[in-house]
Structure 1
């Protein structure tokens, strides 16, 4: 199958971003960016992606650092547990409260201030992100993979799982070459689809 046909099939089969799946209409605005941070924290733990996405939906009422900080620890635990995010519910509930407090103190609850502090440097964005409790390098990569939709300076962002998916499908594993296969606004969708081809059994055979 020609590469372009393979990419189109991949996007059709698995090209929904994780943010969209979690009900986040991503935009360069404080609330959706914060919800993406929460999703990235949840996805970076050793838990199934669909459970993490469900948990992000359950946490949607606390869609700002201030609201998350004001929620009780037990409210956060209950929301996570209700989504099946039970193995790490208590520690994650604590980390989300601590992370919300950090974002309020350093960035007035607005991740666009973190972006401004990074001054267009993708690696600095990652460095600042990993200061958030429980996010870590994996979570920072997840955030950048999704946020490249609205923060173009992050393009192209393909983490190790996405590049593993590209290799599995016989697609380029050089990020710039891979990015050249789609328009800029489709990079986040492509990255998500490549991750799914790594994590979900049925994706790669459907594309091949």
Structure 2
């Protein structure tokens, strides 16, 4: 029988990047796609809709900051709409262009340069990420949780939401100190459980009878 951490990660540990079809790598395009996903997930909207919207933006070809800025405002709105991201579509279309412009102006379109500037200091990286319109503390945490399999120097990255969920299920801090990929998976699982009360309650009952 595996550990509680194994059970949680195996059952609920799909990262949002994987769900959105992002082939994460330390390269400009997938890192930008992850930034867009973090921005979309930052709104008060379901994660399923945010992921669907990210898929639509990628399918439309807006996988680089240049492509995002060259798309019209309406093109971006339409892609968001196809993902049912309608409540915030107009404002988000503008924020996506602003974020892409900032990335082009500040880091020549390459988030690896942001990483170089911030090093492996999560606090500094968190600050730099919040320079993007639409990325606040919550969005920065999403990006850093998900990027740690390729920015391995920041691992293990677990924000307050992850830590709270870990305590609920009796996981020690050491449970989050595995490989960066496993840490990202477990962190994603804990976040999903923090958002799904029914699943979390069912898991607690199951664990109580193990």
CA distance in 1, matches of 2:85, 2:171: 34
Shift of 1:197: 1.1
Q: Which residue of 2 aligns with 1:178?
A: 175
- Residues 129-158 of structure 1: per-residue CA shift (max 9 Å, x gap): 100011111101100000111101221211
- 8 A contact 1:14–1:203 mirrored in 2: no
For residue 120 of structure 1, report the CA deviation from its aligned partner.
Answer: 2.6
| CA displacement at 1:202 relative to structure 2 | 4.4
Q: How many residues align?
A: 202
- C-alpha offsets along residues 34-91 of structure 1, whole Å, 9 cap, x if unaligned? 0000000011111101110101101102000000000100011111112111111111
Structure 1 window deviating more from structure 2 (69-78 vs 159-168): it is 159-168
**Structure 1 segments unaligned to the other structure (5+ residues):** none
- In the alignment, structure 1 residue 83 sits paired with structure 2 residue 86: no
CA separation in 1, counterparts of 2:164 and 2:111?
A: 29
CA distance in 2, matches of 1:87, 1:197: 24
Give the conservation status (yes or no) of the 8 Å contact 1:126–1:141.
Answer: yes
TM-score after normalising by structure 2: 0.91
TM-score by length of structure 1 reads 0.92
What is the aligned-residue RMSD (CA, Å)? 1.5
Distance 1:46 1:161 in 2: 16
- Bigger drift between 127-136 and 153-162 goes to 153-162
Alignment gaps of 5+ in structure 2: none
Q: In the alignment, what sits opposite 1:5?
A: 3
Q: Distance in 2 between matches of 1:81 and 1:159?
A: 31
Q: What is the aligned partner in structure 2 of residue 155 from structure 1?
A: 155
**CA contact 2:5–2:175 (8 Å) conserved in 1:** no
Structure 1 counterpart SS, 2:3: helix
Q: Are the counterparts in 2 of residues 13 and 203 from structure 1 also a CA contact under 8 Å? A: no
Shift of 1:11: 1.4
Aligned partners of 1:32 and 1:63 also within 8 Å? yes
Q: Does structure 1 residue 203 correspond to structure 2 residue 199? A: yes
**1:37 is aligned to 2:35:** yes
